């Protein structure tokens, strides 16, 4: 696999290739979901992070809820979410998320958040309450959480895991060498790995998941090393997607990775032992979450068969 930039002119960023062009979001489902979000005063990472798949996912009635407000206490150099002093915690937010998930008829709900280093539990209690509320209103809905690192606080992580998410996701985001440049401040590569390892220890039945962006200046060998790190920390599911610069204030794109390179990384990851990998230019954390729900369904059926046979 080549590591050479594509379409790079000295002094200019690489030109965005055709495979990264997407249609503007539209359609009845998209408009309905947007109306539900505004009515319940909810935020979605689909909108806040300017996800390129928002039209496709909302068209299929899939969305990622963002709790704990829309202002982050950290300022990662790749992220479009607003950073600064967060607003007061909305204690009705978990119920509103559950109501939205029920009204949308979701079979797989994804819940993420901004970082809330200003809170004593870093927002873990709000995650746990949201999981429980979704289960109360929609018992058949699988729940995936995409959490911050909670500053490595094990008690905060325990609060989330005891609520019983089906998938625990924490994104490593990039390779170890690049990590300090794009995630300055409190975030640490090894802390993120430890969070993933500890989550699996706290609930071995829960799938663990992580993801990285490519095009931030990493090498292919560093991507492979990160994949091996994730497997060594018992991560089951991985996502690999292209970094897209939100604004001129954010870290520039180093290169655009070709679709065949993403396919190769997926093949190598499956050989490493990942249960599922989404790898492609437009892949984001909750892309094709319904396929991960299928993994959960098959696992539950297998467990039921074993119980019935014993």
Q: Is the distance from CB of 170 to CB of 195 less than 8 angstroms?
A: yes
Q: Is the distance from CB of 235 to CB of 194 less than 8 angstroms?
A: no
Tally of structural domains, the chain: 1
Res 40: pLDDT: 67
pLDDT in tens, 185-243: 889 999 999 999 999 999 999 999 999 999 999 999 999 999 999 999 999 999 999 99
Largest CA distance in the chain: 67
Q: Which residues of 264-276 are buried (b: 16+ CB within 10 A; e: fewer)?
A: ebbebbeeeebeb
Residue 102 vs residues 97, 99, 229, 268: alpha-carbon distances, Å:
9, 5, 37, 38
pLDDT band, very low/low/confident/very high, at 303 (cuts 50, 70, 90): low
Cβ within 8 Å of residue 149, ≥6 positions away:
170, 187, 188, 191, 192, 195
CATH number at residue 237: 3.20.20.70
pLDDT in tens, 122-181: 999 999 999 999 999 999 888 999 999 999 999 999 999 999 999 999 999 999 999 999
Query: Residue 174's closest CA among 187, 156, 163?
Result: 187
Q: Is the distance from CB of 78 to CB of 250 less than 8 angstroms?
A: yes
Question: Could you give the CA distance from residue 132 to residue 142 in angstroms, rounded to a whole number?
Answer: 11
Global pTM value: 0.85
Q: Is the pLDDT of residue 11 over 80?
A: no
What 8-state DSSP symbol labels residue 88?
Answer: P
Look at residue 7 and tell me if it is in a domain: no
Q: How many helices (H) and strands (E) does the chain have?
A: 11, 10
Look at residue 160 and tell me if it is in a domain: yes
Look at residue 8 and tell me if it is in a domain: no
Res 45: pLDDT: 56
Question: Could you give the CA distance from residue 189 to residue 292 in angstroms, rounded to a whole number?
Answer: 25
Look at residue 5 and tell me if it is in a domain: no
pLDDT band, very low/low/confident/very high, at 300 (cuts 50, 70, 90): low
Look at residue 18 and tell me if it is in a domain: no
Look up the domain containing 199 and give its range.
23-305
Look at residue 12 and tell me if it is in a domain: no
In this structure, the number of other CB atoms found within 10 A of the CB of residue 262 comes to: 23
Question: Could you give the CA distance from residue 157 to residue 169 in angstroms, rounded to a whole number?
Answer: 12
Res 3: pLDDT: 44
Share of the chain above pLDDT 90, in %: 59
Question: Could you give the CA distance from residue 292 to residue 235 in angstroms, rounded to a whole number?
Answer: 14
3 state SS of 128: helix
pLDDT in tens, 12-68: 567 777 767 665 555 555 666 667 666 766 665 555 555 555 656 655 566 688 899
């Amino acid at each position: 696999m080549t590591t050479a930039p594509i379409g790079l002119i000295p002094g200019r960023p690489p030109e965005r290739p055709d495979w990264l062009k997407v249609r503007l979001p539209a359609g009845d489902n998209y408009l309905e979901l947007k109306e539900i979000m505004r009515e319940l005063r909810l935020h979605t990472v689909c909108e806040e992070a300017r996800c390129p798949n928002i039209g496709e996912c909302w068209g299929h009635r899939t969305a990622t809820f963002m709790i704990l407000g829309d202002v982050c206490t950290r300022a990662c150099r790749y992220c479009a979410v607003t950073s600064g002093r967060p607003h007061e915690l909305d204690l009705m937010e978990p119920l509103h998320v559950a109501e939205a998930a029920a009204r949308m008829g979701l079979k797989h709900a994804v819940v993420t958040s901004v970082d809330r280093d200003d809170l004593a539990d870093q927002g873990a209690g709000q995650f746990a309450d949201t999981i429980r509320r979704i289960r109360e209103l929609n018992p058949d809905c699988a729940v995936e959480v995409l959490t911050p690192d909670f500053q490595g606080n094990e008690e905060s992580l325990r609060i989330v895991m005891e609520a019983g998410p089906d998938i625990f996701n924490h994104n490593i985001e990039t390779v170890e060498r690049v990590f300090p440049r794009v995630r300055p401040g409190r975030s640490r590569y090894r802390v993120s790995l430890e969070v993933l390892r500890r989550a699996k220890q706290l609930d071995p039945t829960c799938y663990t998941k992580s993801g990285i962006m490519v095009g931030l200046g990493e090498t292919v060998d560093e991507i492979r090393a990160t994949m091996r790190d994730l497997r060594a920390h018992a991560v089951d599911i991985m996502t690999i997607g292209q970094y897209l610069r939100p604004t001129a204030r954010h870290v520039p794109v180093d290169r655009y990775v070709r679709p065949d390179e993403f396919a190769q990384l997926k093949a190598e990851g499956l050989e490493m032992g990942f249960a599922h990998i989404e790898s492609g230019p437009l892949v984001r954390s909750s892309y094709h979450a319904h396929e991960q729900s299928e993994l959960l369904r098959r696992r539950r059926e297998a467990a039921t068969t074993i119980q019935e046979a014993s």
